[in-house]
Amino acid sequence: MLEMHGASRLLTSFNDAIPGYIFAGLFFTDEYLKQNPQKVKAFLRGLVKAFNYIKHNEKEAREWIPKYTGVQRDVAMRSALRKFDDGREPAEQIYRQQEIMIKIGKLPNKIPVEKFVDYSYLPQKKIIGEVK
């Protein structure tokens, strides 16, 4: 966004620093998952459809950015988007990010991925058709 206003020059990106850097995840409480597994699955089906929609209809998808963020349309249409796949990320990448945190003193030790990640509510790729 800064570059678009002519204010800055990108020296290096997050991807240059940590390739494939995972930005964020979406969580539910264990209790909610236990009590509402079908709702969570339905929610994730909708979310993965949105990932696919953005992949195949990026321009149309970007049109909704101003409404929800207040960002100007010209910026919304040109800003870099994250890469959205199917909601899963390789465990190796998650551990790589943990290792960097440990190195800089932000995490005491490695934490098994299965302790805080559960992909079982996500749809299989074959079930969700691509929305075009």
Partner 1 sequence: MNNIMRMLIGSILICLFINVSVFASSEDKPMKVTYGRSIDDLPLYVALEKGFWKDECLNVELVRLVGAQNIIAAALHGDIDAGHLDPGGAFHAALRNIPVKIVAWLGHAHLGTHCGLHADAKSDIRSIYDLKNKKVAESGDITTAMILTETLAKAGLTSTDINSIKGIHLDDAMKHEAALRSKGVDVIVA
Which CB atom, from 22 or from 125, has the smaller least distance to partner 1? Answer: 22
Which CB atom, from 13 or from 125, has the smaller least distance to partner 1? Answer: 13
How many C-beta neighbours within 10 Å does residue 49 have?
15
Judge whether 76 and 65 are in contact, CB under 8 Å. yes
Which CB atom, from 31 or from 124, has the smaller least distance to partner 1? Answer: 31
Kindly state whether residue 32 participates in binding partner 1, applying the rule CB under 8 A.
Answer: yes
Kindly state whether residue 132 participates in binding partner 1, applying the rule CB under 8 A.
Answer: no
CA dist., res. 71 & res. 52, Å (int): 23
Kindly state whether residue 77 participates in binding partner 1, applying the rule CB under 8 A.
Answer: no
Q: Residues 47 to 76: which contact partner 1 by CB under 8 A?
A: 47-51, 53-54, 61-62, 64-65, 67-71, 76
Q: Is residue 115 packed enough to be buried (19+ CB in 10 Å), middle (13-18) or exposed (0-12)?
A: exposed
Q: DSSP assignment, residue 130?
A: P
